[in-house]
Structure 1
Amino acid sequence: MKLQPFCRYVLALWAGSAINFVAAQVPAAVPAAPAAPASADSKAAERGVSDWLMRMHEASRKRAYIGTFVVSSSAGSMASARIWHACDGDQQMERVESLTGTQRSIFRRNDEVITFLPGSKVARIEKRESLGLFPNLLQSSESSIPEFYAARKVGYDRVAGFDAEVVQLAPKDNLRFGYRIWSEKKSGLVVKLQTLDTDGRVLEQAAFSELQIDAPVKFDKLAQMMGNTEGYKVERPELVKTTAAAEGWVLKSPVPGFKPMSCYKRPTTGGAVPDSTMQWVFSDGLASVSLFVEAYDRQRHGQEMLLAMGATQTLTRRLSAPAGDKSGDWWLTAVGEVPPQTLKAFAQGLERKKQ
């Protein structure tokens, strides 16, 4: 299950397609960045949350760069990858090579993503519509990001040899995490990110350990590499667009700030009767939550639980069918980089409509 919450989106600023990074121990207390000097640009200090985020997004689109970044988390694991990013007008192109874990190469051209798995000789082609979610929401008059987050500049630092401004994005309620972001001072490119829990502790960190900005990355060369699937079995996971209402579901109690963004059916395999899993995606513009709903199977589904791995929370719950509904019970898996109470609110609000 792959998501595009804010931490994953910032990785997408670097790496268009989000690798499933699970990460290493982050110190519980991170030293505060040095205070901004008295001569700091007053306009920069007064930027709102949308201004900061748009500046970071634009920097990611207009710069070619090569770098190595490392993701670590309080769960006790670490992962790293090498990225090449090129741009040609509005066209974006990236190559990501995993340096830890399973060997894989991921290429993204705008919303098309191809994952090459050399070990199994499989190339998986997908569309990632959610990659455009973040900037589109910022530009929309309906954006609620400033309603639920506040931004303030907290100092300066150096990351991978670059001077960076440090910005804190603080949630205004307990339904979302906060973020501390380091952006390269001249361009605004994000060079480091921390996801903070409701008490300000670091749950997850992603940072460049080495970076070349305005590097000589050739768009055409990356495109050629992306298109070379010779020797690989090409797979195109089948996703069917739908709506929650069409599938018989409603969120009777909306979670403040989170809006429905997309809904798909994902065919499942196994069993005598073909079935499918519905994925309903919500976002507040930074954080995202995915609700995966499938028919309950006593053989496959275990106990209800709530798990945490770094910033990612997972909740599973059995949902009872309404009285008179003969379709049987359902199994919910809710995943998101949000506090556990947010997933609980989604689970409590999700309801099966009478068929």
Structure 2
Amino acid sequence: MGAPPVESSLSSAGEIAPAPIERSLVQWIERMHNAPCARPYAGTFVVLAASGAMASSRIWHACDGPLQMERVEALTGTPRTIFRRNDEVRTFWPQARVVRSDRREASGLFPRVPVVDGTSISQFYSARSVGLERVAGFVADVVWFKPVDSLRFGYKLWSERETGLVVKLQTLGANGRVLEQAAFSELDLNAPVRVEQLSRLMDATAGYKVVAPAVVKTTATAQGWALRQPIAGFVPVSCHRRSVSVDDDAQGVLQCLYSDGLASVSLFIEPFDPQRHPAQPQISNMGATQLLAQRILADVWLTAVGEVPLQTLRLFAGQLERTR
């Protein structure tokens, strides 16, 4: 895979461009993790898939110590507004007057991966600065995260020089082909966004029907599931059983998240239902996100989703086994 081309240069005739900053892969990721709380910000975020599909949203973000608040208003598709308060998420559907309340542990650009003995993200990616560019009016370091194998995609990220905020992200497939691009088209890094203001809006559920599926934190092992062999670099991050209804958790869906620190894969395990599930495996993709859904046992249906190559999802499906 050749290095992704730098699309533009900050230097012009007679000007000397600042030298790119060299950091280790772990240093870059830590900087990007911490960046969202550097300043309150607001901006318009656009996601473009290689197929031409596009989605845009308006984002407001603020922090108060360890408390992180975010509001995302969809500008395309069905009208909806998503609020996040740390791991608590509420999605408002104004047309249906419904609010869905949920919890997501892996928030942010990349999920934080637990420290696992003998495993390091640096084993699976290398990081290299490839220049400086301007995005939404801000100077950004351009960093290429190159995978060492074919089980994961590569990433090219634009990290705003002062705060480290990721202002643009490309997911790269084989030969550096851009599978998906996400970027701020407009950004205010000194926006008058306050945590208490976003919190009030998040709690304003009057007139809405609040739907909150029962969610129980667990582990794959506790639920009787395991991978025969680990998938190189991917470690368990979280696992939850989500009930279809509050009254009956027997038919719930088990969701287990695995990550290598950049890429993540979610496994949704549920009872096979011939009324809902097709006889043949299902494969689809949207941008960089791949989906594989298939029957893995006579009574079990698995849906594997992740921003990874399809072969990685097939590995997960092939290695998953019931232990009891």
Same fold (TM over 0.5): yes
> SS of 2:113's equivalent?
helix
| Within-5 A mapping of 1:220-299 | 220-268=196-244, 274-299=250-275
Q: Give the fraction of aligned pairs with identical amino acids, expressed as a percent.
A: 55
> SS of 2:187's equivalent?
strand
Shift of 1:195: 0.4
CA offsets, 1:157-211, max 9 Å, x none? 1111111111100011110000000111222111100000132100111000111
- Quick check: 1:319 aligned with 2:293? no
Q: Is the 8 A contact 1:316 1:334 kept in 2?
A: yes
Distance in 2 of aligned mates of 1:144 and 1:133: 19
CA offsets, 1:199-243, max 9 Å, x none? 210011100011111122122222211111111111212112222
Aligned to 2:191: 215
Counterparts in 2 of 1:234 and 1:142: CA distance versus 1, 3 Å: farther
Counterparts in 2 of 1:164 and 1:48: CA distance versus 1, 3 Å: same
Q: Is the 8 A contact 2:255 2:268 kept in 1?
A: yes
Give the partner amino acid of 2:6.
Answer: A
Aligned to 1:78: 54
Counterparts in 2 of 1:159 and 1:273: CA distance versus 1, 3 Å: closer
Q: Is the 8 A contact 1:203 1:310 kept in 2?
A: yes
> SS of 1:32's equivalent?
coil
Give the partner amino acid of 1:168.
Answer: W
> SS of 1:129's equivalent?
coil
| Within-5 A mapping of 1:298-317 | 298-302=274-278, 303-317=280-294
Give the partner amino acid of 2:35.
Answer: A
- Quick check: 1:345 aligned with 2:315? yes
The number of residue pairs the alignment matches comes to 315
Counterparts in 2 of 1:140 and 1:60: CA distance versus 1, 3 Å: farther
Quick one: which of 204, 207, 210 aligns to 2:180?
Answer: 204
> SS of 2:308's equivalent?
coil
> SS of 1:102's equivalent?
coil
Q: Is the 8 A contact 2:71 2:83 kept in 1?
A: yes
- Root-mean-square deviation (CA, aligned residues, Å) is 2.6
Quick one: which of 114, 117, 120 aligns to 1:144?
Answer: 120
- Quick check: 1:127 aligned with 2:97? no
Shift of 1:48: 0.7
Quick one: which of 289, 302, 310 aligns to 1:332?
Answer: 302
Distance in 2 of aligned mates of 1:349 and 1:139: 22
Please give the TM-score of this superposition, normalised by the length of structure 2: 0.89
- Quick check: 1:33 aligned with 2:7? yes
Give the partner amino acid of 2:89.
Answer: V
Aligned to 1:3: none
Judge which range, 339-348 or 303-312, deviates more.
303-312
> SS of 1:52's equivalent?
helix
Distance in 1 of aligned mates of 2:83 and 2:119: 30
Distance in 2 of aligned mates of 1:98 and 1:85: 15
Distance in 1 of aligned mates of 2:17 and 2:139: 16
Distance in 2 of aligned mates of 1:310 and 1:227: 33
Distance in 2 of aligned mates of 1:95 and 1:147: 35
Please give the TM-score of this superposition, normalised by the length of structure 1: 0.82
Distance in 1 of aligned mates of 2:98 and 2:46: 25
5+ residue gaps, structure 2: none
Distance in 2 of aligned mates of 1:341 and 1:167: 26
Quick one: which of 97, 106, 110 aligns to 2:82?
Answer: 106
Distance in 2 of aligned mates of 1:173 and 1:189: 27
- Quick check: 1:96 aligned with 2:66? no
Q: Is the 8 A contact 1:137 1:143 kept in 2?
A: no
Counterparts in 2 of 1:278 and 1:136: CA distance versus 1, 3 Å: closer
Distance in 2 of aligned mates of 1:226 and 1:201: 39
Distance in 2 of aligned mates of 1:57 and 1:96: 18
Distance in 2 of aligned mates of 1:159 and 1:35: 12
Distance in 2 of aligned mates of 1:60 and 1:329: 43
Q: Is the 8 A contact 2:113 2:259 kept in 1?
A: no
Give the partner amino acid of 2:81.
Answer: S
Shift of 1:83: 1.0
- Which structure features the higher share of helix residues? 1
CA offsets, 1:267-301, max 9 Å, x none? 236xx995222212111111111111122222221
Distance in 2 of aligned mates of 1:134 and 1:162: 22
Counterparts in 2 of 1:139 and 1:90: CA distance versus 1, 3 Å: farther
Distance in 2 of aligned mates of 1:168 and 1:159: 16
